[in-house]
Amino acid sequence: MASADIANSVLAQAEEIKLQANESFNANKFSQAIDLYTQAIELNGKNAVYWANRAFAHIKLEEYGSAVQDASKAIEVDPKYVKGYYRRGVAYLAMGKLKEALKDFQQVVKVNPNNPDAVKKLKECERAVMKLKFEEAIAVHDVERRSVADSIDFHTIEVEPQYSGARIEGEVVTLDFVKKMMDDFKNQKCLHKRYAYQIVLQTREMLHVLPSLVDITVSDNNHFTVCGDVHGQFYDLLNIFELNGLPSDENPYLFNGDFVDRGSFSLEVILTLFAFKCMSPTAIYLARGNHESKSMNKIYGFEGEVKSKLSETFVEIFAEVFCCLPLAHVINGKVFVVHGGLFSVDGVKLSDIRAIDRFCEPPEEGLMCELLWSDPQPYPGRGPSKRGVGLSFGVDVTKRFLQENNLDLVVRSHEVKDEGYEIEHDGKLITVFSAPNYCDQMGNKGAFIRFQAPDMKPNIVTFSAVPHPDVKPMAYANNFLRLFS
């Protein structure tokens, strides 16, 4: 066969694989689509479409760092390929990098000035950047900032006679109150702001005195449940409690971050978890996720939802409480539980984590950032983060960390998994994710892990999504981001 025929055959094969990748993408099988686009790229790396399509699949999996890399490659291959700039702009936007996104959307309009959709999105981006600049200009430095929570006295807030929802009598949050509140939430009724203030402020007091790394003891023959991301999926949270029982001292839970954002019942989720914490501090433990932060809440819906259902003041108070959340937990000295993952350096001890000053918005590097953002990778060593924040770490990193700290297992969350969980790194690391059919489109199962003392072997329970009222995910998200959803 002539070399030209061979070349054409390879190009045709790449195009056929791209079509298969498109089918996987349209079926929401984004990881499979990435694998297929990769095969097409290996056969023909000079086709900008393959790079941009793979970038889009990375966006769907929230792998925004990888999306930026692929979209940049598409632009390098074909500087006039509009979708390269568009996809990179969307990825920057999702990372909160509005100024970088603006440059890409300006380029989209420059290449394609008669596209009304592109012009509309550019104007929205310009508005968002102007707003950001204004907020930066009037921002008060943390050192000067007075606590909003300290200025609130919930006792002085009157409850109207016609209010028929759940009530806290006095200072104590009871199980009866929490059950009534959850039932009201299930029926899409609101909690009076007096009781919302009481729950959130009491939770803040409890969390504030905890160390950044919390030790949990489970006595012999008792059990302990770890849940992953819930992401505002309140009705799936209720289903977890149906399957595994309500939190109590005899049935304790750890919720491992990302309680809010994306799902449009985030307020109901966070008030339920906080109320159980108030009812009994040892019935429920809460860890910070990367979405318990101002920058994420501003983009992905929690801020908009809180403003809509409660008030702007609550946005500030939740931000303060999120800064009090512990960063990691150790169960019975053996199981290390963290939202994201491990570190860019070896030799990190549990005492180093315990010593982190966590009372701040998450920084963009360092131990706290890595605890919230990192992900495991299937090969040894360390690599750049597919998210653009944190890093990827291999089996050798996991095993060294466990060995140096006399631990048996890492449990983390942070990533959607088809079965609700994944066991990696020779069984030394488990990802658990508790938001089934994530964002109403991923089709994944949810999972939680039950540990029984003293052996502390993980027993993984999976479950499917349950129906919820017709409020779409991201309903309260940043207007600009919704344009690209």
Other beta carbons within 10 Å of 282: 12
DSSP three-state, residue 128: helix
CA atoms of 417 and 31, how far apart (whole Å): 10
Taking alpha carbons only, the member of 470, 321, 481, 331 closest to residue 410 is 331
Long-range contacts of 400-407, Cβ-Cβ distance < 8 Å, separation of 24 or more: 400/346, 401/336, 401/342, 401/343, 401/346, 401/348, 402/336, 402/428, 404/346, 404/347, 404/349, 405/336, 405/349, 405/350, 406/333, 407/330, 407/333, 407/334, 407/335, 407/336
Any alpha helices (H) in 112-158, and if so which ranges? 116-138
Contact between 407 and 335 under an 8 Å Cβ cutoff? The reply is yes
Q: Is 425 a catalytic residue?
A: no
CA atoms of 179 and 196, how far apart (whole Å): 15
Write the DSSP symbol of residue 187: T
Taking alpha carbons only, the member of 292, 266, 240, 335 closest to residue 477 is 266
Write the DSSP symbol of residue 140: P
Given 291, 329, 414, 468, the catalytic residue:
291
CA atoms of 24 and 42, how far apart (whole Å): 18
CA atoms of 255 and 236, how far apart (whole Å): 14
DSSP three-state, residue 94: helix
SS (H, E, C) 301-319: CHHHHHHHHCCHHHHHHHH
Any alpha helices (H) in 323-436, and if so which ranges? 350-354, 367-373, 395-404
For the beta sheet containing 223-227, the strands, ordered from the edge strand earlier in sequence to the opposite edge, are 284-286, 253-255, 223-227, 446-452, 458-463
Q: Which residues touch 197 (CB under 8 Å, ≥6 apart)?
A: 152, 154, 157, 314, 317
DSSP letters spanning 397-411: HHHHHHHHTT--EEE
Write the DSSP symbol of residue 154: G
Q: What region does 411 belong to: left with phi over 0, alpha with psi -120 to 50, or beta?
A: beta
CA atoms of 409 and 430, how far apart (whole Å): 8
What amino acid positions are annotated as catalytic residues?
291
